[in-house]
Amino acid sequence: MTITTPKGFRAAGVAAGIKKSGGRDVVVVVNDGPSASAAAVFTSNRCEAHPVTWSRRILDDGVASAVVLNSGGANCFTGEFGAETTELTANRAAELLQLQPSDVIVCSTGLIGSGDEKFRQGVLTGVKLAVAELADDETAAQHAADGILTTDSVAKTALREGTGYSIGAIAKGAGMLAPGLATMLVVITTDADLESAQLDTALREATRLSFDRVDSDGAMSTNDTVALLASGASGTAADEGEFTSLLVLCQDLARQLQADAEGASHDITITTTGAATEDEAVAVSRAVSRSNLFKTAIFGNDPNWGRVLAAIGTTDAQFVPQQIDVSMNGVMVCRAGTPDAPVDTVDLTPRKTEVLIDLHAGDATASILTNDLTHDYVHENSAYSS
């Protein structure tokens, strides 16, 4: 089990006819308490979807008892009608669950611009069906994990057991994967007894070091939401030090998102070490992760380190070009800015690919998780909305 493993949570995922495939597309997760502490982080895209605007506002008080999520439509750039749909969704869930609408987080994912009357009716019908099926068993957790998927090929779940409490999660994300955040919806539940301020601090730190370091395709979504709900049902007040297991859980999910990225054939970890600051290490790794030429080279199993250096050169990080080392899968192909080991000694056939950059400019290190740029990526994304 995952999100229903922590005590005090029920979930359901149903098919309400929003997805053309007929698959599950509306999910409800409920926190039965005793506590209703919550925190969330959202996309930093200024063009945010209506559910993001809604959820950001209702979480001002650090309290939420339910999350309604739908796949099959992003409800973004759908005008006043779309904003009303989100509000009606929260109202419907609140009515059925005997909550305040302002305690209902709403999340949507799918095509931007989709959110018409049919979509609205689908979501509202789905909420009713889902509430009727709410349960705390394994099937319910699985249905919830399935119901938020779009182009994902597998459900993403994670579970960590703390001392006297647990943390569970479901996640989706396969395309438009870039930071602040990767395109994702994540719901995390815990029965630890924590205040919303503690949840907020822990979630921001965990997100910064996990989801914000996935940059699969450089495209930032309008709908990203990571919500954390705490029921307090375990009666255990996990201390802040121990609740860092949240970070491990988020990193686990981040790896799952990377592994299922659209069309990818390589999971690439780009680690920059010897940076003057952690921010600069992130900037350098991210610049490389966004180079289409680097990404196509990896797809072709070509250790073209010149494209790594060309990307590094676009950043403001401290370095001297003639001091940079680049290794691929353990082979140093560029040492101090000059060719080193022959490129044909690098084996790039494994899906797991490691690129290590040493700037020799300090002691900071950071990694970005990305993917290669493949024919399948082009295919999936040239046909997605049609």
Nearest to 240 by CA among 193, 187, 186: 193
Which residues 6+ apart lie within 8 Å of 214 measured at CB?
Answer: 173, 177, 178, 179, 182, 254, 257, 258, 368, 369, 370
Residue 220 beta carbon to a second copy: minimum distance, rounded to whole angstroms = 5
DSSP secondary structure of 240-257: TTGGGHHHHHHHHHHHHH
Residue 196 beta carbon to a second copy: minimum distance, rounded to whole angstroms = 27
Instruction: Give me the phi and psi of 302, to 5 degrees please.
Output: -110, 110
Residue 146 or 215 with smaller CB distance to a second copy = 215
CA-based R_g, the chain, Å:
21
What six digits make up the tokens of 316? Answer: 């403001």
Q: How far apart are CA 228 and CA 187, in angstroms?
A: 6
Q: Which of 183, 269, 353, 370 is catalytic?
A: 183
Pairing mode, if any, of strands 225-230 and 185-190? Answer: parallel
Where do contacts with a second copy occur on this chain (CB under 8 A)? 45-48, 74, 76-79, 111-113, 175-176, 217-222, 290-293, 296-297, 299-300, 302, 304-307, 309-315, 321-322, 334, 336-339, 343, 373-375, 377-379, 381-386
Residue 81 or 278 with smaller CB distance to a second copy = 81
Nearest to 212 by CA among 42, 54, 73: 42
Task: Report which DSSP code applies to 220.
Answer: P
Task: Report which DSSP code applies to 219.
Answer: P
Q: What angle do CA 287, 288, 289 make, to 5 degrees?
A: 90
Residue 70 beta carbon to a second copy: minimum distance, rounded to whole angstroms = 16
Residue 338 beta carbon to a second copy: minimum distance, rounded to whole angstroms = 4
- Which residues on adjacent β-strands are paired with residue 225? 42, 185
Place of tokens 């669950």: 97
Residue 136 or 260 with smaller CB distance to a second copy = 260
Residue 187 beta carbon to a second copy: minimum distance, rounded to whole angstroms = 22
Residue 101 or 306 with smaller CB distance to a second copy = 306
What six digits make up the tokens of 294? Answer: 């680097």
Q: How far apart are CA 326 and CA 336, in angstroms?
A: 9
What six digits make up the tokens of 31? Answer: 């926190």
3-class state of residue 173 by DSSP = coil
| Cβ atoms 36, 193 nearer than 8 A | no
3-class state of residue 211 by DSSP = helix
Q: 349 an active-site residue? A: no
Residue 219 beta carbon to a second copy: minimum distance, rounded to whole angstroms = 5
Residue 313 beta carbon to a second copy: minimum distance, rounded to whole angstroms = 3
Residue 9 or 294 with smaller CB distance to a second copy = 294
Residue 195 or 340 with smaller CB distance to a second copy = 340
Place of tokens 């809604």: 54
Show which residues are catalytic.
183
